[in-house]
Every structure is written in structure tokens, then in C-alpha cells.
Amino acid sequence: MRFAVVLLLIVCWGHAEASTVSLTARARGECEGAEHRIIVTGTTNVDVFPQLVGVSLVRLSVGICEPEEIVPDGIVPLEIVDAGPYLIEFSASIVVAAPQSGVNYRYLPRFVHAEELQVTVSSGCAGNGFVSALVGCEDIPLHRGELVLIGFVDGELVYGISACEEDCWTEVICNQMNAAALEELLGSDWTTYVGQIVDVFGDRVNCAMIGGDMYEISRIEVAPGGNCGPVPVRETSWGTIKRMFR
């Protein structure tokens, strides 16, 4: 996966002497050699923007348990993209080193207010409940868990893929589709996969759209050994990066 997009929702917070204000945000990420570039965009009130010091990122690993990190060092200022009479559109571009190859990373924008209030924007579509950018630079799974048949609706299958949470797989995947479409993702009879631990490959999509799909799944296959477990990782090197883009 060389490019990923993830979405937007609204956060509100109040101040002791001011009215409640609002902020919308979205984030997307892409690979640039041995680095990840995260682009954060959003909208806020004209009277709120001057109080926003900037943004940093909370980085979480997917499929391997590592402590969360705050990147980069320091706060990145927000740049005005468009200013209207009531709202200001802003953006920030943040480049950080990719810690390891073969791992997806989730980046959560965290806005810093002049009063030192730190805000992470909520989202019902992300596995951990917040707006984030999912970035991985190779063909690696975005999720691992047990494929479960939930039931049937209007002649279509409703299936879910529970998370191998002990290995820090944190997505929440539940889909409805006909059997033929599911078997196209699996490559064979869907009934043989129920109850098995599988890997899901694909990208996150604009899941904030009501009724829209949360993921664009390209394929589903049995996890290595048919078991839960972390992704195998290795330190990023220039040799690895060169081979990835040949």
C-alpha cells in the first residue's frame, strides 16, 4: 500500500469564558522513499483559527505492539488555504521518517490550542475512534482477524472480521455483499474461510460518507499459519526502499 486516505468529522470544545467552537479535519498519507508525508486539512471559525498554535501527530503501529509516539519534534504551524467571512480552510504538511518497513502506521492529527488544550478529532469510522491517516509502503495487510458470518440481509452475506487485538490489529471490518463478490476477494468458496484467521488487504476510503463503505478491500487470504500474530518487521534501509519502487 503506497497511499492511503482517511477522513473527517467534527470536534467541539468549550472554554470558561467563550462559546463552544468547532473544527473539522481530515488526514491523508503517502510514502516518499524512507519517509511518510502526512497532509492535514480542515476548517474552523475565523475567530478560532488565530488561537490554533498548530498540529502534531500521534503515531500508532498496526499489527505490531509498539508504544505510541508523538511526531515530529515540535508543533507544525497551520497554513491558511482559503479565508471566508466565517470560516478558514487550513492545511499542514508533515514529513517523518518511516520507523520500519512492512508495517502500516496510523497517524492521528492532534491540534494544539493557545490555551494548551490538545484536541484529537473524533470519527466513528476509524478503528480507534479518531480521524487518522493509514500509511504503509508495501503490500501488507491492514487487518488480521477471524472471518465470522453474521447473517443474511436481502439475499446477501453479512460478514465481519474480528481483530487479533492481542497483536494490536485494531480495525473494525463488517461488510455486506453477495457470495460471488466475497468469493472473488477470497479466491474460492467462502464457506471454507468462516472461522479462519485471515489477512485483509486494501485501503481505507471516505468512511464518513453516510452509507458508504469504510474500506476498499482488494483481497482476503488466510493469515500465515492460520493464526493470529504480529506482522514480521525489519528496519527500513535504502536498499529496501529501492527494491520497493523498482
> Band of the pLDDT at 232, cuts 50, 70, 90?
confident
* pLDDT for residue 26: 86
Q: Which pLDDT tens digit goes with each residue over 90-105?
A: 999 999 998 888 899 9
Q: Which pLDDT tens digit goes with each residue over 17-74?
A: 333 447 888 888 899 988 999 999 999 999 989 989 999 999 999 999 999 999 999 9
Q: Is 72 exposed, middle or buried (0-12, 13-18, 19+ CB in 10 A)?
A: middle
Mean of per-residue pLDDT scores for the chain: 81
144 vs 213, higher pLDDT: 144
> Band of the pLDDT at 196, cuts 50, 70, 90?
very high
Q: Kindly write down the DSSP assignment for every residue of 7-49, as one continuous string.
A: EEEEEEEEETTEEEEEEEEEEEEEEETTEEEEEEEEEEETTTG
* pLDDT for residue 171: 82
Q: Which pLDDT tens digit goes with each residue over 108-117?
A: 999 988 876 6
Q: Helix, strand, or coil here: 138?
A: coil
* pLDDT for residue 123: 56
In angstroms, rounded to a whole number, what is the distance separating the alpha carbons of residues 51 and 45? 10
Paired with 135 in beta bridges are 105
In the chain, where the domains are located: 3-135, 143-226
% helix, strand, coil for the chain, step of 5: 10, 55, 35
* pLDDT for residue 182: 95
- φ/ψ (deg, to 5) at 59: -105, 125
Runs of H (alpha helix) within the chain: 179-186, 238-244
In angstroms, rounded to a whole number, what is the distance separating the alpha carbons of residues 25 and 88? 12
Neighbours of 39 (CB within 10 A): 16
CATH architecture of 3-135: Sandwich (2.60)
